[in-house]
Amino acid sequence: MLNPLPLSRSTIFWHWLTALSFIAIFALGYYLVDLPRSPEKGELIGIHKSFGALFLLLAIARIIWRLKEGAISPASETPAWQEKAAKSVHGLLMLATLVMPISGIAMSIGGGRSIDIFGWTLISAGEKVEWLQQVGGNIHGFFVNIIIAVFALHILGAIKHHVLDKDQTLNRMFGR
């Protein structure tokens, strides 16, 4: 049995800040999909886009921290295939934290819309670039189901470690 090192407070902070922020922005976006066109929907889209743009900065900081700190060491010995699966899930989640906001930005720019953060314009509105809007929209929409599946695998993996393996994976992520 491995004796895993505790996680730094910074690692725990970045993990939970990224996770909870992503879930909140994702939930708002999911809610917006079926909402009929209205001024309320327009305002909520602006909020979704603002938080999404800010989230991109958070995701970049999180990835820089992860590169600096390195991958988290496993809390227990697992078969090689499980180790590869865990690394794949973590990699896909990190990729999603970049792909979703970048594709949303591409969709807005392609649609000729500005990129604003709570009314502060970062990129002014320009001409429509149909292919960019299409690509951004396709990626933004396509990745939703992948993210749900990968996120579910991440949660199931954490539960498996806690319930079946009875290791410290989940406790470490809660700072215990």
Range of the domain at 169: 9-173
Name 96's Cβ contacts closer than 8 Å, sequence gap at least 6: 22, 143, 146, 147, 150
pLDDT > 90? residue 168: no
Query: What DSSP element (H or E) covers 122?
Result: strand 120-123
- Would you say residue 170 has pLDDT above 50? yes
What confidence tier does 1 reach under pLDDT thresholds 50, 70, 90? very low
- Confirm whether 1 is domain-assigned: no
The pLDDT of residue 145 is above 70: yes
* Residues 71-93: tens digit of each pLDDT: 777 777 888 898 898 889 999 99
4 falls within a domain: no
The CB-side HSE value for 128 (13 A sphere, CA atoms) comes to: 5
Residue 149: CATH number of its domain? 1.20.950
Mean pLDDT, to the nearest integer, of 141-158? 90
Report yes or no on 79 lying in a domain: yes
Tell me if 2 is assigned to some domain.
no
3 located within any domain: no
Sign of CA pseudo-dihedral 19, 167, 159, 87: positive
Residues 71, 85: Cα–Cα separation, whole Å: 14
pLDDT digits (tens, 9 = 90+) for 106-135: 999 999 999 999 989 988 999 999 999 999
Dist. CA 151–CA 19, nearest whole Å: 10
Indicate the number of domains in the chain.
1
pLDDT of residue 3: 55
Structural domain contains residue 158: yes
74 within 8 A of 65, measured Cβ to Cβ = no
Cα-based angle 171, 13, 43 (whole degrees, multiple of 5): 120
